[in-house]
């Protein structure tokens, strides 16, 4: 029998958040082990259910003919209109219902945006570390991911000089994840303006991932980069997964804004791909309308004293006390990206490190190289587990690292 092999398109695609270490964890669970999972931002799994208002509307809508039917490829009018209003609140100018695409989560739209654009050899600038879907989607689309560094010494802000150095005639766009996964960085307006200026000079499309734009600590405010870029083509991604704790409803959106005059053909491509997948799931679309029209979001949990704010502080304090571990305190999102001093922890292969931590201490993290970070000296954890579980988990990481130092 001839072997059946995966397509060559997949040879450079990697998504380690759900990769081999998770497979190992599943196998251990099947064998009866209890694993503390710090690997995925699946909020509802940690006792943080979606807001009542959204759940109740979902139950009400499900039996309706609308919910059971297909919709326009871009989505139903009313939820798209609610996204237009959201753009108005975020001061993104000139957005009409026609510029809004609803998707089965932001993920589908991110992949679509790259597929509709890229030819072989086209380059997209992507942060390192990144949310790995971007690198994977660009590679799957036949494009070339080019990573620009984010600087841990400067609150994990993008290194603008590195961005400029990496622009070539083949560069089509730049991905900005703000607030950032995996670092928790939140970019100030001045920095966003500088990025817009680079995009303007080099005619780059800005792909702005703002899925954590309400998941902000210490009373911080979020500025949408598209609100500063009326003359630059921007695709902004957002959705209910994080801010409304509804990952499973698969409800996301993409907004095309800025200078669209030269992008008509790309927009035809986006529409074509939107049509090919028929439409996003209709109950999820209806949930967008409810969420954006209501007042219940993640805000109370991230406000000072809220559960997520307390867990962020706890994880930060506990990690910072471990010898050789340093971590930038996140201002947004659900993650930390601690550094392990290579002198104390000479890790050659951080996936192996993650395996060993899992095997010895039953704690699941994701290794830093899974986020396209170039060195094996970081890992990501989510601070979603409650305080007791977080304390236990970081205690186990500390014990494991203590053993590692003695090797």
Q: Which residues of this chain interact with ligand PLP, rule CB under 6 A?
A: 41, 105-107, 131, 177, 181, 209, 211, 239, 241, 247, 252
Q: Convert 269-332 into a string of H (helix), E (strand) and C (coil).
A: HHHHHHHHCCCCCHHHHHHHHHHHHCCCCCHHHHCCCCHHHHHHHHHHHHHHCCCCEECCCCCE
Instruction: Name the minimum Å distance from CB 136 to ligand PLP.
Output: 12
Instruction: Name the minimum Å distance from CB 107 to ligand PLP.
Output: 3
Instruction: Name the minimum Å distance from CB 26 to ligand PLP.
Output: 19
Smaller CB distance to ligand PLP: residue 28 or 40? 40
Smaller CB distance to ligand PLP: residue 270 or 347? 270
Query: At 126, is the secondary structure helix, strand, or coil?
Result: strand
- Give the pair of three-digit tokens for residue 184: 């928790």
Smaller CB distance to ligand PLP: residue 84 or 102? 102
Q: 123, 144 in Cβ contact below 8 A?
A: yes
Instruction: Name the minimum Å distance from CB 301 to ligand PLP.
Output: 17
Instruction: Name the minimum Å distance from CB 181 to ligand PLP.
Output: 4
> Own/partner pairs for 347-350, CB < 8 Å, 24+ apart?
347/376, 347/377, 348/376, 349/376, 350/376, 350/377, 350/378, 350/379
Smaller CB distance to ligand PLP: residue 345 or 379? 379
Smaller CB distance to ligand PLP: residue 207 or 266? 207
Smaller CB distance to ligand PLP: residue 41 or 330? 41
Q: What would the DSSP string read from start to end of 222-258?
A: ---GGGG-TTS-EEEEEESTTTTS-GGG-EEEEEEES
CA dihedral 228, 231, 237, 242 (to 10 degrees): 10
DSSP letter for 134, please: H
Instruction: Name the minimum Å distance from CB 129 to ligand PLP.
Output: 11
Nearest residue to the partner ligand PLP, using Cβ: 105
């Amino acid at each position: 029998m001839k072997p059946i092999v995966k397509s060559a398109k997949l040879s450079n695609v990697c998504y380690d958040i759900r990769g081999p270490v998770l497979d190992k964890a599943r196998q251990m669970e099947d064998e009866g082990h209890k694993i503390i999972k710090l690997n995925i931002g699946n909020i509802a799994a940690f006792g943080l259910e979606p807001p009542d208002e959204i759940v109740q509307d979902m139950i009400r809508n499900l039996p309706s003919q609308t919910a059971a039917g297909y919709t326009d490829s871009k989505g139903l009018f009313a939820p798209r209109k609610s996204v237009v209003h959201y753009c108005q609140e975020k001061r993104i100018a000139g957005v009409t219902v026609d510029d809004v695409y609803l998707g089965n989560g932001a993920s589908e739209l991110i992949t679509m945006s790259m597929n509709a654009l890229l030819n072989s050899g086209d380059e997209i600038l992507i942060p390192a570390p990144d949310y790995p879907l971007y690198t994977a989607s660009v590679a799957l689309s036949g494009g070339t991911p080019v990573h620009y560094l984010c600087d841990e010494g400067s609150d994990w802000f993008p290194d603008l000089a590195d961005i400029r150095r990496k622009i070539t005639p083949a560069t089509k766009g730049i991905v900005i994840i703000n607030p950032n996964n995996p670092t928790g960085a939140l970019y100030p307006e001045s920095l966003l303006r500088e990025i817009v200026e680079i995009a303007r000079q080099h005619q780059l499309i800005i792909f702005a991932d703002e899925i954590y734009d309400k998941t902000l600590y210490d009373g911080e405010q979020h500025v949408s980069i598209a609100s500063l870029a009326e003359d630059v083509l921007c695709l902004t991604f957002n959705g209910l997964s994080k801010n409304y704790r509804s990952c499973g409803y698969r409800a996301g959106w993409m907004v095309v804004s800025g200078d669209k005059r030269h992008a008509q053909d790309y927009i035809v491509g986006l529409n074509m791909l939107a049509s090919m997948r028929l439409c996003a799931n209709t109950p999820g679309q209806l949930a967008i309308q409810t969420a954006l029209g209501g007042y219940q979001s993640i805000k109370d949990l991230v406000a000072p004293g809220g559960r997520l704010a307390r867990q962020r502080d706890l994880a930060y304090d506990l990690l910072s006390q471990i010898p050789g571990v340093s971590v930038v305190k996140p201002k947004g999102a659900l993650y930390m990206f601690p550094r392990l001093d290579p002198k104390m922890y000479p890790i050659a292969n951080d996936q192996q490190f993650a395996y060993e931590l899992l095997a010895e201490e039953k704690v699941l993290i994701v290794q830093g190289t899974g986020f396209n970070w170039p060195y094996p000296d970081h890992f990501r954890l989510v601070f979603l587990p409650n305080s007791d579980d977080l304390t236990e988990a970081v205690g186990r990481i500390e014990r494991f690292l203590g053993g590692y130092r003695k090797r």
